[in-house]
Amino acid sequence: MRILFIGDIVGRSGRAVVTERLPELVRDWKLDLVIINGENAAGGFGITEPIYHELIDAGADAITLGNHAWDQREALVFIERAPRLVRPINYPAGTPGRGAAMVEAKNGASALVINAMGRIFMDPLDDPFAAIERELNACALKSGADAIIIDMHCEATSEKQAMGHFVDGRASLVVGTHTHVQTADHRVLAGGTAFVSDVGMTGDYDSVIGMAKEEPINRFLRRIPSSRFEPPNGPGTLCGLAVETDDATGLATRVAPVRLGGLLEEARAAFWDRA
């Protein structure tokens, strides 16, 4: 299976580069499964129903969230009619929506998409390790799903890496999101799970993690907010992770970073470009 996970979309520039580039990537790379973290898609804070449909129409098979899941209050309602929108699984019982979703890939295979949120320097939610363990016990790789993808939305790289090793051999991919800077530690772990500490941001990198530079700098200098955080609307970079899995095991065989457009040095899944 060919999987592309696209990192945290921030604002209009992030959405624009996805809607521009993703359809051709699906076609040219013959992608089977596309997952997008969309928790910053609406002006940097949350997601709306029209944006959800915009990303699905562009080629996303599932959209994950994180700590900004409910910044747009409408999400509390429309998530119930958005079966491919996945919020963190370790929210308390009774939270609207779902923390895991079984989606049909473009090739007809089944993929379990799980979203979890870390607890270091973040909201003290339920234990993400216990929540994911229960989900994997209920739906094991290959016997329950052809691929299992976990979006670990965390501040601390240690928590993301711990999750990768915790599920190694039981998931196809563990991808870190939230910190908006793509790390260089993409690899296939010893047990066959693809991993990266952070997949990076999809948006305008002439910014401070997706926000126009002036206000974050002002707050660092003076510790006093003077205006709202707003994402800039310069050219966006699409950041993602390309993963290929073995159809027999569901485990990863190859992984590569993806960076397209905008300011960053381009990186492509060369093994698919040559295919």
What single string gives the DSSP state of each residue in 66-95? Answer: -TTTTSSTTHHHHGGG-TTEE--TTSPTT-
Q: Is residue 231 within 8 Å of residue 11, measured between CB atoms?
A: yes
> 168 φ, ψ to 5°?
-55, 130
Catalytic residue check, 53: no
Active-site residue, selected from the candidate residues 68, 178, 180, 186: 68
CA-to-CA separations, 140 to 39, 47, 60, 135, 267, in angstroms, rounded: 27, 30, 23, 8, 32
DSSP notation for 152-212: EE-S-HHHHHHHHHHTTTT-SEEEEESS-S--S--EE-TTS-EEES----BB-SSSBTTB-
Q: Which residues contact 57 (CB under 8 A, 6 or more apart)?
A: none
Q: Which of 120, 177, 171 is nearest to 149 (CA)?
A: 171
Residues marked active site are found at 68
